Amino acid sequence: MLKLETVWKTFNPGTVNEKTALHGLNLHMQEGDFVTVIGGNGAGKSTMLNAIAGVFPVDSGKITIGGVDVTALPEYKRAKYIGRVFQDPMMGTAATMQIEENLALAARRGKPRTLRPGITKADREFYQEQLKILGLGLENRMTAKVGLLSGGQRQALTLLMATLQKPKLLLLDEHTAALDPKTAAKVLDATQRIVEKDHLTTLMITHNMRDAIAYGNRLIMMYDGQIVVDVSGEEKKNLTVEHLLNLFSQASGSDEVSDKMVLS
Amino acid sequence: MTSFFNALPGAVAQGLIWGIMAIGVYITYKLLDIADLTVDGSFCTGAATCVVLVMAGNSVWVGLLGAALAGALAGLATGFFHTKCGIPAILSGILTQLGLWSVNLAIMGMKANLPMNVNNYKLLVSLRYLQEVQKGTRPFYQHPIFVVCLLTLAIIAVLYWFFGTELGSSIRATGANGNMARAQGINTNFNKVLGLALSNALVALSGALLCQYNGAADINMGRGAIVIGLASIIIGDVVFGKLFRNFGLKLLAVSIGAIIYYIVIQFVISTLSINTNYMKLISSLIVAVFLAVPYWQQTYTHKKQKEGKVC
């Protein structure tokens, strides 16, 4: 489904801030895979997701989604295949537009935008049904501006928007990191339900090791722009946080594990 | 005071005409979140194109259409600088505006002022018509206020429809949150260019109406247009912001904002007998104050909170 072949990305080349964020990265995901991604700050997790989404062009390498080479496609064209939820709750929705307007925009992802009315009555009923799945009561506030919603509500809405048009690939960039633990659990729960319902191929970054173990059928750990740990199947089911830390220090050849990773 | 009341219909008519320009500015400033300075040039482009077309024997409608197209081209140029050359939006607008100075002169045959005698052409609006309707020698439906009112309502209706379509909504999303728009597959660069072209088409249309009203196109007529546009948007928002929630009504508020602006200007001119050359200074200061108020409110409450006076 998703294939990254020796992808390189260096930021600010030739300056003191030069940083090679992706180090000839290789990743191959099967259809229906739910992969969780962990790694310290600066390991290249977000860079990998943004490279897949096309936020910036990569220096070299090849990215294919469902057999389509998207390496040279701009971000808005790749959106046809990709649903995304960002870390920042402000980023995934348009605050000054209504809930139903946001959904209508998402419903047209990958399709031409014409001079037909943005929202029809049938659309409205469909969105209402979909909002019920979230269980947040948003179905009764369809014309409210999204700016009035809480961070958790916005993330849940963004999640719904990302999957309204079934994407070939769902990218979740620490989408619960900015939420309080209770809300985060709710959003993660909704994520699990939606991913299972539509059998979505999903790539989820998380700072929380327990979540990384609990969710998905495969876990990868990144270090210095490369994948250093890759566990799936039975092995993943039996993982513990302690075991994961061991794997990490073996793979990276150091005991250097960020406090944030241990604590979370 | 009597001179103020005598000049009132003229002020309202002018305000209405500039209101169309302000609606154009609203599209870039409010919907796309771009301060587009192209308008100072494209306003005159519209006027020049219209005068030249009408004096060449075309109907006034051809003149208006030509003006709108010329304005759209100006917006396209700014959009090109911004999206294809990576120049910041505000600087792109300034570049186009500067270039348009020469273009506008070229359109007018290298004359800084191109008069168009109202007696020789059938125009849509004119100060002369306004006076003649008041004297009773012309039917009321040729009154500039009536004509421009109809035109404004038609423009608002079309824009209301357009920004409710799939394409129009995607333009609003582009301005509201570019990241979200791209993630939803919206070509934000294309939408910015489209918005700039649409905006400047309206600005040029407004210029085409004003040159008919004044009976001349002048190379300086668009100077400070962006400030008048912003003033109209802000006045409309201050007066009707709480009342008008609907998009169509918001556009109407912009138009009324322009009328209020011109009535105030007329009032200042007729009652305080200020040299009209000071008007630009006064306008810019008024707009600066209005733009600063939200900032001041914020910092003031913040300070109070710090001092523990407001919980």
B107 and B133 share a domain? yes
B93 and B189 share a domain? yes
Domain hosting residue B297, numbered range: 284-311
Q: How high is the pLDDT of residue A263?
A: 44
B182 and B305 share a domain? no
Q: What are A178-231's pLDDT values in tens digits?
A: 999 999 999 999 999 999 999 999 999 998 999 999 999 999 999 999 999 999
Residue B241 domain-assigned (yes or no): yes
pLDDT band of A260, cuts 50, 70, 90? very low
Residue B203 domain-assigned (yes or no): yes
Q: Do A53 and B164 touch (CB under 8 A)?
A: no
Question: How far off is chain A from B205, nearest CA to CA, in Å?
Answer: 23
Q: Which residue has the higher pLDDT, A259 or A128?
A: A128
- Helix-strand-coil percent breakdown of chain B, rounded to 5? 75, 0, 20
Question: How far off is chain B from A141, nearest CA to CA, in Å?
Answer: 16
pLDDT at A155 over 60: yes
Is residue B62 a contact partner of residue B226, using CB atoms and an 8 Å limit?
no
Cα A242 to Cα A225: distance, rounded to the nearest angstrom: 23
Record: fold of A1-81+167-186+198-264: Rossmann fold (3.40.50)
Residue B265 domain-assigned (yes or no): yes
B191 and B253 share a domain? yes
For A7, the enclosing helix (H) or strand (E) is strand A2-11
Q: What phi and psi values does residue B142 have, to the nearest 5 degrees? A: -100, 5
Q: Do B185 and A96 touch (CB under 8 A)?
A: no
Bridge partners of residue A229, in order along the sequence: A221
Whose tokens are 């860079």? That residue is A47
Q: What phi and psi values does residue B217 have, to the nearest 5 degrees? A: -100, 135
Classify residue B209 as exposed, middle or buried by CB count within 10 Å of its CB (0-12, 13-18, 19+).
Answer: buried
B45 and B155 share a domain? yes
B109 and B232 share a domain? yes
Residue B278 domain-assigned (yes or no): no
B263 and B307 share a domain? no
B146 and B173 share a domain? yes
B256 and B307 share a domain? no
Q: What phi and psi values does residue A72 have, to the nearest 5 degrees? A: -100, 0
Structural domain spans, chain A: 1-81+167-186+198-264, 92-165
Q: Tell me how far the alpha carbon of residue A249 is from its chain's centroid.
A: 26
Is residue B174 a contact partner of residue B6, using CB atoms and an 8 Å limit?
no
- Per-position b or e across B159-171, b if 16+ CB within 10 A of its CB: bbeebbbbbbbbb
Q: What are A5-23's pLDDT values in tens digits?
A: 999 999 999 999 999 999 9
Q: Which residues, including other chains, have CB under 8 Å from residue A121's CB and lie 6 or more apart?
A: none
Cα B120 to Cα B122: distance, rounded to the nearest angstrom: 7
CATH number at residue B25: 1.10.3470
Q: How high is the pLDDT of residue A247?
A: 84
Mean pLDDT by 10 residues, chain B (311 residues): 84 97 98 97 98 96 98 98 97 98 98 94 93 91 95 98 97 97 97 98 98 96 94 92 93 97 87 82 84 83 63 44
| CB-nearest partner of B170 from A105, A116, A161 | A105
B268 and B292 share a domain? no
Residue B279 domain-assigned (yes or no): no
B309 and B261 share a domain? no
Cα B29 to Cα B23: distance, rounded to the nearest angstrom: 10
Question: How far off is chain B from A8, nearest CA to CA, in Å?
Answer: 23
- Per-position b or e across B179-201, b if 16+ CB within 10 A of its CB: bbbbbbbbbbbbbbbbbbbbbbb
Mean pLDDT over each residue of chain A, to the nearest integer: 92
**In chain A, what residues touch B170 (CB-CB under 8 Å)?**
105, 108, 113
Instruction: Count chain A–chain B contacts defined by CB atoms under 8 A.
Output: 89
Residue B30 domain-assigned (yes or no): yes
B176 and B260 share a domain? yes
Alpha carbons within 13 angstroms on the beta-carbon side of residue B292 total 6
Number of domains in chain B: 2
Cα B145 to Cα A148: distance, rounded to the nearest angstrom: 40
Residue B49 domain-assigned (yes or no): yes
The alpha helices in A147-180, defined as continuous H runs, are: 151-164
Give the mutation candidate from B184, B187, B188, B198 for the A interface (greatest A CB count, under 10 A).
B184
**In chain B, what residues touch A93 (CB-CB under 8 Å)?**
177, 180
Is residue A234 a contact partner of residue A242, using CB atoms and an 8 Å limit?
no
pLDDT at A160 over 70: yes
Question: How far off is chain B from A98, nearest CA to CA, in Å?
Answer: 11
In percent, the amount of chain A with pLDDT more than 90 equals 83
